[in-house]
Amino acid sequence: MTNLSILIIVPILTAIAVLFCRNTMQIKWTSFIGSIVQLCMASGLMFSYISERALGNTAQMLFQQRYSWYSALNIEYFVGVDGISVAMIMLTSFVVVAGILISWSVQTLTKEFFFLLLLLSVGAYGFFISLDLFTMFFFLEVAVIPKFLLIAVWGSGKKEYSAMKLALMLMGGSVFVLIGLLTTYFNTNINGLHTWDLLQVAHAQIPLQTQMYIFPFLFVGFGVFTALFPFHTWVPDGHSSAPTAASMFLAGISMKLGGYGALRVATYLMPEAAQEYSWIIVLLATIAIIYGSFATLMQKDLKYMNAYSSISHCGFILLGIGMLTKIAIIGAVLQMVSHGVMTALFFGAIGMIYERTHTRQLSDLGGLLKVMPFIGTVYVITGLCSLGLPGLSGFVAEMTVFVGAWQRPDAFHRTATILAAASIVVTAVYILRAAGKAVMGPITNQHYLELKDANWNEKFASVLLIIGILAIGIAPFWLYNLIAPDAQIIMENLTRGGIVN
Amino acid sequence: MLSQNYIALIPLLPIISFLFIGLIGRAYFPKFCGLIGTLSLLISFSLSAILAYQFFFEIGKVNGVYQKIIALKYTWLQFTPNIAIDMGILLDPISVMMIVIVTFISLMVHIYSLGYMHGDHRISTYYTFLSLFTFSMLGLVLSSNIFQIYIFWELVGVSSFLLIGYYYDKPSAVAASKKAFIVTRFADLGFLLGILVLSYYSETLDFQTLIQRLTTNGTYLSGIATASFLGASALTWGLMLVFMGGAGKSAMLPFHIWLPDAMEGPTPVSALIHAATMVVAGVYLVARLFPVFVMCPIALDIVAYVGIISSLFAAIIACTQTDIKRVLAYSTMSQIGFMMFALGVSGYAGEEGTGFMASMFHLFTHAIFKALLFLGAGSVIHYVHSNDMKDMGGLRKMMPITHITFLLACLAIAGIPPFAGFFSKEEILTACFHANKFIFGAAVLTAGLTAFYMFRLYFNIFWNKDFKSHHTHEEHHHGEAPKSMLFPLMILAGLSVIAGFVPFNKFVTADGAGFETEFHLGFAIGPVLLAIAAILLAWKMYAKENSMSDNVSNSIKGLYTSAYRKFYFDEIYLFITQKILFNLIGRPAAWVDKNIFDGLMNLIASITETVSGSIKTYQSGKAQDYAIYFFAGTLGFVLLFIYLWI
Amino acid sequence: MENIGLTHILFVSTTLFFIGVYGFLTRKNMITMLMAIELILNSINMNFVAFNKFLYADKLDGIFFTVFIITIAAAEAAVAIAIIIHLYRNIKSIDVDEADIMKY
């Protein structure tokens, strides 16, 4: 029997161990080993999950653990995983290892930096395994606070402003989530008691009237995390000011917390309201996709470009959720995983370039492939993944969303799908524009000729993430089959009151 | 039954060599990468030759009809019980013909590149990309699933991108590779939507099931034929959108603009990708879905008219260009136009299917002689170090073998009997003559223009003025290219002569059954005479240095200039992208984001700040102020209580 | 003596109280403000004694409170003067308006 709690305990122990380290070498190696252990545990979890399923275990959530935490309010520490959570946990562990390796050269306040990174991973793991809504909220908050410090202390540019903006907007989102969760809690009644238990709430038959005002709070609250259209403005500033590893965590994991929450909490728990509101979600997601990609066209800074393109790509997650078909929901989850790995690699590559050239302005860069073949290649590969090249993960996710979305035959959903599909052309334009200018072309600055290519830790991190991208891109069926049964459960709950119109 | 294992090896060998060269060879033995790639392709080609023999002569034919055989099939992604993306191998006459062409031309180019790219320090990378391309192209032609073809479609696109941008430190190469990728990507959007439309109505992605469902009367066909949108049926829309993808890859109007620029890549690459194999993918796609196209005359007409217009258009431009690779690029576009409209005018069964057969036949012969032309041009460029025909002339003395092979290829493309192009072009013209007189007329005109511009090219390179080398004396002597380059030229030249005698009407037809074609001498003589006249005209204008060509171009200055400027298509596209997409959509989007949405968030923040700023002055730090508030507050409360209770 | 009743005493103490308040609010010298506070406290003391004498003559609670207040006032004066001296050492002034660093 796999013990899920060690997923939280190991990062905590690593973080504490980091506090007792004496020099930077010890700190880095402790965090690195800790993150490798996490990776092994996540892989182990996945394998035991798959074998458990193969043995015919049909429980919705496996490896459950349940302890009362604060009985007066019926708050429990209640964890368990399904295929979607396992996929997200795998994603998290990949990004954590890569993020820690990329941060190898952090000089100032090393101890605190790695401590905060590990704390973030605690929040992410906890969020993905929680089945108690309050515990889930608790871990969500754990994942927010360290980001403020990471950006404000180790960031670049107008870092205080960005850190404050990010923290305030994410906290605002959390407030919405909290309001939604509290309302949910007080509207449940299991044997005379209110409950935070996700599985029970899903079948609590909350009346539509109530759902109609809970759902917007939950969805918008989680939506802020995943760059829901009018609440996306923290993304560009936050990502561009953050240090490399924090950008990777932010885009790779944090934005996925929102997507996961929007699916698992908002849509799954409020199915009738989700159907009512789905057209708004589709509308906002389509706007985000188109608008994000066009805004990216105009950016001059590599990190801003990637941040805006993240808005566009996260739009696919919300689009998949909003379409309310099984395939589209699977597509949304695939897009979460795919975009998480891909964008982490993207920010990693940009970070490596920035560390060497000390500029992220497109106009200053040029011809880096010649001096840094490895980093240049990584940049091109992740760019190709971003524009949806078959064989890489982005393609699988986007196509799944499109195929799922196309099953809604009415004009509105068709138009949304076509517009979203059109954005991949714009994506190609901005990706190639950046790659053509920064990586290819003639060398613009003579001092670039002395730059060194990636060192072992950067290579390790990049190769790890590229393996992730290829594993999804070439053999998507294992991930697809991991997710599909749970998407089916969500769909069944969604259609319990009737078929999606 | 076919042994599955060796069929799978045909596409797998290139991908294995891609991985091997890319991951190991590049780092440890870069010198041998070319040989490894060539060797793996040699095996791949031999296997496909064996396969072709087996298919056409042993097992392919059942009751006189060539079957579609699914040799391999793995489910890649199962969306619903009906809709699944499979990775499979579909063998039928066109796919078997295509793998032979692809592996053969690719093998020739691999061998040729050993000489052409000799000394390039990134030669291992070059072979890595070539292997990737060959793999993707083989995957494309062998696809058994419409989504599989899309996947490989994108992969050939990216290999083409990588190879065009091979000289990545040259801004023009980078720009060309970007352009090629983006233009085809835009067209592929249509392809993707077309796939979605077709698969939605037929509820399958599998080629055979899809074709079967959409060509037999039943719920599927009536569903897609009755659903209409903007006045056209869903079937028409689906096919038009699919054709949009095909037009993008095959450089048909209006997506042709990337092809001439794609010549920035190394010349062998142009021969392989942008002449013989990848650019005919669009034709192949239409041929693959041909039974469905036949169900929808409107879509077929669009294919025909796009084909003929592109063909004529490109032929006119080709007469004015001076960059030899660009002339060949426009010639490619023109010849692909031939294949397209041959499909467009074709029927399905028996003799009505002449157009289909002719199109595939032309695809086959064109691949051979166009590859030869490009490789010949490559060896000329290798020697002259320039692409411009003004820098050439009189080269027949320096490079006799290249000269002879090039001449043979020119005769083949001009349609002079008994060279390869004559037979396939003749079949196309026959098919047009029976189907559509307007297209027939335009096609004959284009054929004449073809002969003219090809011999304009030939005379300008090998005759005209005497060659004045810019090089030192020693270099001047070595003249002819190395053997590794001459060998493919000679093989291809030999094939250009004999390829026309392959009886395509027996092997590759729309319905799989062979049919008899008759050869009418009277019909053939007209186009041949026209071609000979065009060659003589070219001889008169360009064989010797004279002012006749300038006089002609001056007399039709308007037409000449606009053709020379490629009818301003690049400028129109530039206007649309730069002025409209960037300035009218991109810039406002970025501005709105920075000012409106971000401004809104900042406004909320600044309102909070202003309010707190205005009340914080009450916290002045002066004890006496606090005392006043205290007393005033007490007084206020006292008065309140008095008012309330007394 | 019989003519002087509770009202008279309350009148005096109220006057004393507002004189103290006025002094506290208007004087800028902290020592003077401290003296004004003493006036306020003493007016309270008068009230306690007067109410005790006129209303609850058989009890001593008012007197006790007065003693308490006097004690606390003494302690308070000691603390206040200590603060004022420290403040003087820091900002070279015992003007209350200058001691406004504790704000926002």
Which residues in chain A are contacts of B597 at CB distance < 8 A?
230, 232-233
Residue B60 has pLDDT above 90, yes or no: no
Q: Dump pLDDT digits (tens) for A54-109.
A: 888 888 888 888 888 888 888 889 999 988 999 999 999 999 999 999 888 888 88
Phi, psi of A69 (to 5 degrees): -110, -50
Contact C96 B623 (CB under 8 A): yes
Query: With touching defined as 3+ CB pairs under 8 A, do chains C and A touch?
Result: no
Give residues with Cβ within 8 angstroms of B532, minimum separation 6. B416, B451
- Pick the residue from chain C with its C-alpha nearest to B625: C25
Neighbors of chain C with 3 or more C-beta pairs under 8 Å: B
Which residues in chain B are contacts of A388 at CB distance < 8 A?
154
For chain A, which residues score pLDDT lower than 70?
Answer: 1, 497-501
Phi, psi of A355 (to 5 degrees): -60, -30
At A501 the pLDDT is 47
Whether residue C43 contacts residue C13, with contact meaning beta carbons closer than 8 Å, is answered with: yes
Q: What does the CA dihedral A168, A173, A174, A179 come to, rounded to 10 degrees? A: 130
At A1 the pLDDT is 53
**Measured between CB atoms, which of A232, A370, A421 is closest to B192?**
A421
At B471 the pLDDT is 53
Could you identify the residue written with the tokens 């490798």? Answer: A36
Which value does ipTM take for this structure? Answer: 0.91
> Count of B–C CB contacts within 8 Å?
27
Which residues in chain B are contacts of A421 at CB distance < 8 A?
189, 192-193
Which residues in chain B are contacts of C87 at CB distance < 8 A?
none
Which residues in chain A are contacts of B167 at CB distance < 8 A?
none
Q: What pTM was estimated for this model as a whole?
A: 0.88
Q: What is the DSSP letter of A424?
A: H
**Measured between CB atoms, which of B616, B620, B631 is closest to C100?**
B620
At A262 the pLDDT is 92
Contact C103 B621 (CB under 8 A): yes
At C42 the pLDDT is 93
Residue B523 has pLDDT above 90, yes or no: no
How close does chain A come to B261, measured CA to CA in Å? 16
Contact B151 A169 (CB under 8 A): no
Contact A441 B168 (CB under 8 A): yes
Residue B390 has pLDDT above 80, yes or no: no
- Pick the residue from chain A with its C-alpha nearest to B81: A327
In sequence order, what E strands does A73-155 have? 75-81
Contact C100 B616 (CB under 8 A): no
How close does chain C come to B632, measured CA to CA in Å? 12
**Measured between CB atoms, which of A391, A409, A440 is closest to B155?**
A391
Number of helical H runs and strand E runs in chain A? 21, 2
* pLDDT classification of B473: cutoffs 50, 70, 90: very low
Could you identify the residue written with the tokens 């042993």? Answer: B58
Residue B424 has pLDDT above 90, yes or no: no
Give residues with Cβ within 8 angstroms of A417, minimum separation 6. A402, A405, A406, A408, B196
Interface check B628 vs C, CB under 8 A:
yes
* pLDDT classification of B4: cutoffs 50, 70, 90: low
At B3 the pLDDT is 61
Phi, psi of B76 (to 5 degrees): -100, -45
Interface check B620 vs C, CB under 8 A:
yes
Residue B1 has pLDDT above 60, yes or no: no
Which residues in chain B are contacts of C97 at CB distance < 8 A?
622, 624
How close does chain B come to C27, measured CA to CA in Å? 9
Q: Dump pLDDT digits (tens) for B532-591.
A: 888 888 888 877 777 777 777 777 777 777 777 777 787 888 787 777 777 788 888 888
At C36 the pLDDT is 93
Q: What is the amino acid identity at position B406?
A: F
H runs (alpha helix) in chain C: 6-26, 30-55, 61-91
Question: To the nearest 5 percent, what fractions of chain B are helix, strand and coil?
Answer: 75, 5, 20
Contact B169 A440 (CB under 8 A): yes
Token duo for residue A58: 């049909």
Whether residue B593 contacts residue A237, with contact meaning beta carbons closer than 8 Å, is answered with: no
Contact B154 A168 (CB under 8 A): no
- Pick the residue from chain C with its C-alpha nearest to B617: C104
Contact B619 C103 (CB under 8 A): yes
Whether residue A464 contacts residue A348, with contact meaning beta carbons closer than 8 Å, is answered with: no
Q: What is the amino acid identity at position B288?
A: R
Measured CA to CA, the distance from residue B572 to residue B568 in angstroms comes to 6
The closest of A118, A83, A138, A82 to A7, measured between CA atoms, is A118
**Measured between CB atoms, which of B165, B192, B598 is closest to A440?**
B165
Task: Report all structural domains of chain C as residue ranges with CATH numbers, in order of start.
Answer: 6-103 (1.10.287.3510)
At B2 the pLDDT is 54
Measured CA to CA, the distance from residue A230 to residue A440 in angstroms comes to 35
Determine the residue among B609, B614, B620 to mutate to test chain C binding: the one whose Cβ has the most chain C Cβ atoms within 10 Å: B620
- Which residues of chain C have a Cβ shorter than 8 Å from any chain B Cβ? 21, 24-25, 33, 96-97, 99-104
**Cα three-residue angle A287-A290-A293, rounded to 5 degrees:** 130
How close does chain C come to B617, measured CA to CA in Å? 7
Residue B79 has pLDDT above 70, yes or no: yes
How close does chain C come to B186, measured CA to CA in Å? 59
Residue B433 has pLDDT above 60, yes or no: yes
In chain B, what percentage of residues exceed pLDDT 70?
97
Measured CA to CA, the distance from residue B486 to residue A241 in angstroms comes to 58
Contact C104 B619 (CB under 8 A): yes
Whether residue B567 contacts residue B309, with contact meaning beta carbons closer than 8 Å, is answered with: no
At B468 the pLDDT is 63
- Beta-sheet pairing, B232-233 with B228-229: antiparallel
Contact C21 B621 (CB under 8 A): no
Which residues in chain C are contacts of B624 at CB distance < 8 A?
24-25, 33, 96-97
Determine the residue among B616, B618, B622, B626 to mutate to test chain C binding: the one whose Cβ has the most chain C Cβ atoms within 10 Å: B622
